[in-house]
Amino acid sequence: MKIHLSILSLFLVLTGTAAPSIAAATEGTSAPRDTSQLHIASGSAMLVDLQTNKVIYSSNPDVIVPIASVSKLMTAMVVLDAKQSMDEYISVNISDTPEMKGVFSRVKLGSELSRHEMMLITLMSSENRAAASLAHHYPGGYVAFIAAMNAKAKSLGMMSTHYVEPTGLSVRNVSTARDLSKLLAAARHYPMLTQLSTTKEKTVAFRKPNYTLGFHNTDHLVNKDKWNIKLTKTGFTNQAGHCLVLVTEMGNRPVSLVILDAFGKYTHFADAGRIRNWVETGKSGSVPDVALRYKAEKNLKHYQGNANQAAK
């Protein structure tokens, strides 16, 4: 009897009949997860496996929403595509960006900084005046820069994305979680974007007049040892909520993560942690009631029509 059972067991293994229990043991974090176990507070999100380009998780991925300073990632890509000198000093000029009127900044108008350092504080600390200045000093000028942003988006297949200025202050800078996932997939091939966006802090020296300012990364996760952040950008306006895009590792595989319209100063970071926990353990943990209420009241799908109109 034992012999017959052993033979039968061997047959089942060889034919794959016994595969479910074996697969469950070997797949680990690459196994599909139960989305009912993932709870997030953000209105829209998408997680993509960058090795396979498969979507691991999405929530309202095609709803068009304002993206705030996440816009600056495209701003930086357009600057790099133009192959301008990173050592050239350019003046701080916001005259082309009406959205900058009345917006506070420590950076002095008319002062100069190298294009490399302008890029750094644009990405690392989301400095609006730096982003506007990069566009102002683009070949062909500001209008050509905005056209290049939209042309780049179209070339990447970001068909629901539209830019009207380089900072993200305008509610008319819109996109979707799916489109921004495409942007991240392209951005990871720009080494300078990785270097600058993940810099933790830096003191930069301006000239004419001479002064120095210290800047810190707006993504708190770059300071966490348990996170291996390869590329990142945050964003916030009242209309867009708190936003976060990043390239990192979850379950020992490279992934891109987009989180849009989160409530609270730290909710987008907490959602990133919940998503990672879900990928690696199958469970995400709970979400504060106040964040869930915000999500329910905001109801991104309700704004689909308005966002579509804003993009035109």
8 Å CB contact between 186 and 77: yes
DSSP track, 11-56: HHHHHTTTHHHHHHHHHGGGSPP-GGG-----SEEEEEETTTTEEE
Output b/e per residue, 86-101; b: 16+ Cβ within 10 A: eeebbebbbebbebbe
Which of 299, 51, 289, 64 is closest to 158 using CA atoms? 64
The reply to whether 233 sits in an annotated binding site is yes
Selecting among 71, 72, 133, 295, the annotated active-site residue is 72
Selecting among 69, 71, 125, 197, the annotated active-site residue is 69
First to last CA, the chain: 75
3-state class (DSSP) for residue 140: coil
44 is known as an active-site residue: no
- Rounded to 5 degrees, φ, ψ at 149 are -60, -45
126 is known as an active-site residue: yes
Beta strand extents in 217-252 (DSSP E only): 231-237, 241-250
The residues assigned a catalytic role are 69, 72, 126
Binding site, annotated residues for substrate:
233
